[in-house]
Structure 1
Amino acid sequence: MNYKEKIGTKNAPLKLKTPPLSSEYTMHVDEKDGKEILVCTVGKTILHYDIRCLSDLYDMLKQHGDWIELGSKDEKVATKEGTVEHWGRSLNNPIGGWYGLKKNFRGRFGMYIPPLMEALGLVEVTHEKRNNKMRAK
Protein backbone atom coordinates (compact mmCIF):
# COMPACT_ATOMS: atom_id res chain seq x y z
CA MET A 1 0.00 0.00 0.00
CA ASN A 2 1.33 3.40 -0.93
CA TYR A 3 -0.79 6.22 0.45
CA LYS A 4 1.99 8.79 0.69
CA GLU A 5 0.26 11.36 -1.55
CA LYS A 6 -3.06 11.03 0.29
CA ILE A 7 -1.46 11.39 3.72
CA GLY A 8 0.40 14.55 2.82
CA THR A 9 3.65 16.30 3.60
CA LYS A 10 4.98 18.49 6.40
CA ASN A 11 3.84 21.57 4.46
CA ALA A 12 0.44 20.09 3.57
CA PRO A 13 -0.50 17.46 6.20
CA LEU A 14 -3.76 15.54 6.31
CA LYS A 15 -6.13 17.00 8.93
CA LEU A 16 -7.91 14.41 11.05
CA LYS A 17 -10.10 14.09 14.16
CA THR A 18 -9.78 11.57 16.98
CA PRO A 19 -12.40 8.78 17.02
CA PRO A 20 -14.75 10.65 19.45
CA LEU A 21 -14.43 13.64 17.05
CA SER A 22 -13.31 15.75 20.03
CA SER A 23 -9.77 16.75 18.99
CA GLU A 24 -8.02 17.66 15.76
CA TYR A 25 -4.54 16.56 14.73
CA THR A 26 -2.49 16.21 11.55
CA MET A 27 -0.63 13.34 9.93
CA HIS A 28 2.01 13.40 7.24
CA VAL A 29 4.72 11.18 5.79
CA ASP A 30 8.36 12.03 6.37
CA GLU A 31 11.68 10.23 6.35
CA LYS A 32 13.80 9.34 9.36
CA ASP A 33 16.99 7.30 9.26
CA GLY A 34 16.27 6.41 5.62
CA LYS A 35 12.79 5.00 6.39
CA GLU A 36 9.36 6.45 5.70
CA ILE A 37 7.44 7.22 8.87
CA LEU A 38 4.10 8.71 9.85
CA VAL A 39 4.37 11.98 11.75
CA CYS A 40 1.37 12.74 13.95
CA THR A 41 1.11 16.27 15.36
CA VAL A 42 -1.30 16.85 18.23
CA GLY A 43 -0.99 20.46 19.39
CA LYS A 44 2.72 20.76 20.20
CA THR A 45 3.19 17.02 20.70
CA ILE A 46 4.78 15.08 17.84
CA LEU A 47 4.52 11.30 17.59
CA HIS A 48 6.17 9.02 15.04
CA TYR A 49 4.81 5.69 13.81
CA ASP A 50 6.28 3.10 11.49
CA ILE A 51 4.37 3.54 8.19
CA ARG A 52 4.24 -0.24 7.88
CA CYS A 53 1.55 -0.18 10.59
CA LEU A 54 -1.05 0.73 7.94
CA SER A 55 -0.71 -2.48 5.94
CA ASP A 56 0.00 -4.66 8.99
CA LEU A 57 -3.03 -3.39 10.91
CA TYR A 58 -5.23 -3.72 7.83
CA ASP A 59 -4.12 -7.34 7.38
CA MET A 60 -4.81 -8.09 11.06
CA LEU A 61 -8.27 -6.52 10.84
CA LYS A 62 -9.12 -8.50 7.68
CA GLN A 63 -8.07 -11.69 9.45
CA HIS A 64 -10.04 -10.74 12.59
CA GLY A 65 -13.13 -10.13 10.45
CA ASP A 66 -15.19 -8.16 12.98
CA TRP A 67 -15.16 -5.00 15.08
CA ILE A 68 -12.19 -4.64 17.44
CA GLU A 69 -11.93 -2.17 20.32
CA LEU A 70 -9.36 0.62 19.91
CA GLY A 71 -8.26 0.74 23.57
CA SER A 72 -5.98 3.78 23.22
CA LYS A 73 -3.47 4.27 26.07
CA ASP A 74 -0.31 6.24 26.75
CA GLU A 75 2.98 4.35 26.46
CA LYS A 76 3.43 3.69 30.17
CA VAL A 77 -0.16 2.48 30.75
CA ALA A 78 -1.01 -1.21 30.48
CA THR A 79 -3.29 -2.17 27.60
CA LYS A 80 -6.28 -4.48 27.39
CA GLU A 81 -5.57 -7.63 25.42
CA GLY A 82 -7.56 -7.89 22.21
CA THR A 83 -7.48 -4.14 21.46
CA VAL A 84 -5.82 -2.28 18.59
CA GLU A 85 -3.56 -0.49 21.10
CA HIS A 86 -2.42 -3.80 22.61
CA TRP A 87 -1.70 -5.21 19.15
CA GLY A 88 0.27 -2.05 18.20
CA ARG A 89 2.87 -2.80 20.89
CA SER A 90 2.65 -6.60 21.13
CA LEU A 91 5.55 -8.97 20.62
CA ASN A 92 3.09 -10.98 18.51
CA ASN A 93 2.52 -8.33 15.82
CA PRO A 94 4.49 -8.52 12.52
CA ILE A 95 7.35 -6.29 13.75
CA GLY A 96 7.48 -7.87 17.20
CA GLY A 97 6.83 -4.74 19.25
CA TRP A 98 6.06 -1.04 19.11
CA TYR A 99 4.88 0.70 15.92
CA GLY A 100 5.37 3.95 17.83
CA LEU A 101 8.94 5.14 17.30
CA LYS A 102 9.55 8.00 19.79
CA LYS A 103 10.47 6.86 23.31
CA ASN A 104 7.85 8.05 25.84
CA PHE A 105 5.50 8.87 22.92
CA ARG A 106 5.00 5.37 21.48
CA GLY A 107 1.44 4.93 22.75
CA ARG A 108 -1.91 6.26 21.54
CA PHE A 109 -1.65 4.03 18.45
CA GLY A 110 -5.35 3.21 18.89
CA MET A 111 -6.24 6.91 18.95
CA TYR A 112 -4.35 8.30 15.97
CA ILE A 113 -3.88 5.48 13.42
CA PRO A 114 -7.55 4.37 13.02
CA PRO A 115 -8.84 7.79 11.82
CA LEU A 116 -6.00 7.92 9.29
CA MET A 117 -6.96 4.49 7.98
CA GLU A 118 -10.61 5.61 7.86
CA ALA A 119 -9.63 8.68 5.81
CA LEU A 120 -7.74 6.39 3.43
CA GLY A 121 -10.89 4.32 2.93
CA LEU A 122 -9.47 1.14 4.48
CA VAL A 123 -11.61 0.81 7.60
CA GLU A 124 -14.75 1.87 9.43
CA VAL A 125 -14.37 3.52 12.85
CA THR A 126 -17.13 4.18 15.38
CA HIS A 127 -17.35 7.73 16.75
CA GLU A 128 -18.76 7.39 20.28
CA LYS A 129 -17.55 9.35 23.32
CA ARG A 130 -15.78 6.21 24.60
CA ASN A 131 -14.97 2.61 23.69
CA ASN A 132 -14.66 3.10 19.94
CA LYS A 133 -14.03 0.23 17.56
CA MET A 134 -12.78 -0.36 14.04
CA ARG A 135 -13.05 -3.00 11.32
CA ALA A 136 -11.63 -3.48 7.85
CA LYS A 137 -13.81 -2.57 4.86
Structure 2
Amino acid sequence: MSTAAGTKENPWKLLTPPQSSEYEMYKDEKDGKAIIVCTVGKTVLHYDYRCIDDLHAMLKQHGDWIELGSADEQKPAKEGTVEAWGRSPDNPIGGWYGLKKGFRGRFGMYVPPLMEALGLAEVEHNPRNNRMRAL
Protein backbone atom coordinates (compact mmCIF):
# COMPACT_ATOMS: atom_id res chain seq x y z
CA MET A 1 0.00 0.00 0.00
CA SER A 2 1.32 3.40 -0.98
CA THR A 3 1.91 5.83 1.88
CA ALA A 4 1.53 8.82 -0.43
CA ALA A 5 -1.47 11.08 0.04
CA GLY A 6 -2.20 11.29 -3.67
CA THR A 7 -1.81 15.06 -3.67
CA LYS A 8 0.26 17.25 -5.97
CA GLU A 9 2.74 17.72 -3.09
CA ASN A 10 2.78 14.01 -2.16
CA PRO A 11 1.79 12.01 -5.28
CA TRP A 12 1.49 8.28 -5.60
CA LYS A 13 4.81 7.04 -7.08
CA LEU A 14 4.04 4.01 -9.21
CA LEU A 15 5.57 1.53 -11.62
CA THR A 16 3.94 0.33 -14.84
CA PRO A 17 2.66 -3.28 -14.64
CA PRO A 18 5.89 -4.75 -16.15
CA GLN A 19 7.70 -2.58 -13.54
CA SER A 20 9.80 -1.05 -16.30
CA SER A 21 8.85 2.65 -15.95
CA GLU A 22 8.16 4.99 -13.05
CA TYR A 23 5.37 7.56 -13.06
CA GLU A 24 3.32 9.64 -10.62
CA MET A 25 -0.38 10.22 -10.07
CA TYR A 26 -2.37 12.53 -7.84
CA LYS A 27 -5.97 13.65 -7.40
CA ASP A 28 -6.83 17.15 -8.55
CA GLU A 29 -9.79 19.13 -9.80
CA LYS A 30 -10.36 20.61 -13.25
CA ASP A 31 -13.48 22.48 -14.31
CA GLY A 32 -15.22 21.35 -11.11
CA LYS A 33 -14.51 17.68 -11.86
CA ALA A 34 -12.31 15.33 -9.80
CA ILE A 35 -9.49 14.02 -11.99
CA ILE A 36 -6.35 11.95 -11.71
CA VAL A 37 -3.24 13.67 -13.04
CA CYS A 38 -0.76 11.11 -14.39
CA THR A 39 2.79 12.31 -15.14
CA VAL A 40 5.00 10.00 -17.19
CA GLY A 41 8.30 11.70 -17.93
CA LYS A 42 7.25 15.02 -19.49
CA THR A 43 3.87 13.68 -20.62
CA VAL A 44 0.83 14.58 -18.52
CA LEU A 45 -2.39 12.60 -18.85
CA HIS A 46 -5.74 13.19 -17.12
CA TYR A 47 -8.30 10.54 -16.17
CA ASP A 48 -11.76 10.99 -14.72
CA TYR A 49 -11.41 10.17 -10.99
CA ARG A 50 -14.61 8.08 -11.12
CA CYS A 51 -12.61 5.45 -13.03
CA ILE A 52 -11.28 4.04 -9.73
CA ASP A 53 -14.69 3.13 -8.26
CA ASP A 54 -16.13 2.25 -11.66
CA LEU A 55 -13.24 -0.06 -12.60
CA HIS A 56 -13.32 -1.71 -9.16
CA ALA A 57 -17.07 -2.37 -9.56
CA MET A 58 -16.53 -3.82 -13.06
CA LEU A 59 -13.71 -6.07 -11.80
CA LYS A 60 -15.85 -7.32 -8.90
CA GLN A 61 -18.70 -8.07 -11.30
CA HIS A 62 -16.29 -9.79 -13.73
CA GLY A 63 -15.03 -11.90 -10.83
CA ASP A 64 -11.85 -13.18 -12.47
CA TRP A 65 -8.61 -12.00 -14.06
CA ILE A 66 -9.00 -9.58 -16.98
CA GLU A 67 -6.24 -8.61 -19.41
CA LEU A 68 -5.04 -4.99 -19.20
CA GLY A 69 -4.57 -4.49 -22.97
CA SER A 70 -2.97 -1.04 -22.81
CA ALA A 71 -3.00 0.91 -26.09
CA ASP A 72 -2.43 4.49 -27.26
CA GLU A 73 -5.57 6.47 -28.10
CA GLN A 74 -4.89 6.19 -31.84
CA LYS A 75 -4.76 2.38 -31.72
CA PRO A 76 -7.75 0.09 -31.25
CA ALA A 77 -8.05 -1.62 -27.87
CA LYS A 78 -8.23 -5.41 -27.74
CA GLU A 79 -11.78 -6.53 -26.96
CA GLY A 80 -12.45 -7.74 -23.43
CA THR A 81 -9.56 -5.81 -21.85
CA VAL A 82 -9.40 -3.08 -19.19
CA GLU A 83 -8.28 -0.67 -21.94
CA ALA A 84 -11.32 -1.48 -24.10
CA TRP A 85 -13.63 -1.01 -21.10
CA GLY A 86 -11.95 2.35 -20.28
CA ARG A 87 -13.06 3.76 -23.64
CA SER A 88 -16.28 1.82 -24.23
CA PRO A 89 -19.65 3.50 -24.77
CA ASP A 90 -20.98 0.77 -22.44
CA ASN A 91 -18.96 1.82 -19.35
CA PRO A 92 -20.63 3.95 -16.62
CA ILE A 93 -19.58 7.29 -18.16
CA GLY A 94 -20.34 6.19 -21.73
CA GLY A 95 -16.87 6.57 -23.21
CA TRP A 96 -13.30 7.58 -22.50
CA TYR A 97 -12.06 7.94 -18.92
CA GLY A 98 -9.01 9.65 -20.42
CA LEU A 99 -9.72 13.38 -20.65
CA LYS A 100 -6.93 14.94 -22.77
CA LYS A 101 -7.58 14.51 -26.50
CA GLY A 102 -4.65 12.70 -28.08
CA PHE A 103 -3.63 11.31 -24.67
CA ARG A 104 -6.78 9.44 -23.64
CA GLY A 105 -5.36 5.95 -24.08
CA ARG A 106 -3.01 3.88 -21.91
CA PHE A 107 -5.78 3.51 -19.30
CA GLY A 108 -4.82 -0.16 -18.97
CA MET A 109 -1.19 0.79 -18.29
CA TYR A 110 -1.48 3.57 -15.72
CA VAL A 111 -4.72 3.07 -13.74
CA PRO A 112 -4.26 -0.60 -12.63
CA PRO A 113 -1.06 0.05 -10.59
CA LEU A 114 -2.90 2.85 -8.76
CA MET A 115 -5.74 0.45 -7.98
CA GLU A 116 -3.14 -1.99 -6.64
CA ALA A 117 -1.49 0.73 -4.50
CA LEU A 118 -4.92 1.63 -3.08
CA GLY A 119 -5.54 -2.01 -2.13
CA LEU A 120 -8.43 -2.44 -4.58
CA ALA A 121 -6.90 -4.85 -7.08
CA GLU A 122 -4.19 -7.38 -7.74
CA VAL A 123 -2.07 -6.74 -10.84
CA GLU A 124 0.34 -9.12 -12.58
CA HIS A 125 3.88 -7.87 -13.26
CA ASN A 126 5.05 -9.91 -16.27
CA PRO A 127 7.00 -8.36 -19.18
CA ARG A 128 3.72 -8.26 -21.21
CA ASN A 129 0.08 -9.41 -21.32
CA ASN A 130 -0.58 -8.56 -17.68
CA ARG A 131 -3.96 -9.00 -16.04
CA MET A 132 -5.76 -7.67 -12.97
CA ARG A 133 -8.59 -8.68 -10.67
CA ALA A 134 -10.49 -7.04 -7.81
CA LEU A 135 -9.53 -7.57 -4.18
Match of 1:36 in 2: 34
Report if aligned partners of 1:7, 1:13 keep a CA contact under 8 Å in 2. yes
Report if aligned partners of 1:28, 1:38 keep a CA contact under 8 Å in 2. yes
- TM-score, normalised via structure 1 length: 0.95
Measure the CA separation in 1 of the matches of 2:15 and 2:32: 29
Q: What is the 5 A alignment of 1:80-99?
A: 80-99=78-97
Give the 3 Å change call, closer, same or farther, for CA 69–44 of structure 1 in structure 2. Answer: same
Match of 1:60 in 2: 58
User: Residue type matched to 1:60 in 2?
Assistant: M
- SS where residue 47 of structure 2 aligns? strand
Offset of residue 6 of structure 1: 5.3
Report if aligned partners of 1:8, 1:29 keep a CA contact under 8 Å in 2. yes
Measure the CA separation in 2 of the matches of 1:133 and 1:8: 24
Measure the CA separation in 2 of the matches of 1:8 and 1:130: 27
Match of 2:113 in 1: 115
Aligned residues: 133
> Identity of counterpart residues, as a percentage?
74
Deviations along 1:77-114, whole A, 9 cap, x unmatched?
Answer: 00111000000000000110000000000000000000
- TM-score, normalised via structure 2 length: 0.96
- SS where residue 88 of structure 2 aligns? coil
Query: Unpaired runs of 5+ in structure 2?
Result: none
User: Residue type matched to 1:131 in 2?
Assistant: N
Report the RMSD for the aligned CA atoms in angstroms.
Answer: 1.1
Task: List 4+ stretches of structure 1 deviating above 3 A.
Answer: none
- SS where residue 63 of structure 1 aligns? helix
Offset of residue 7 of structure 1: 4.8
Offset of residue 122 of structure 1: 0.4
Offset of residue 8 of structure 1: 1.5
Query: Unpaired runs of 5+ in structure 1?
Result: none
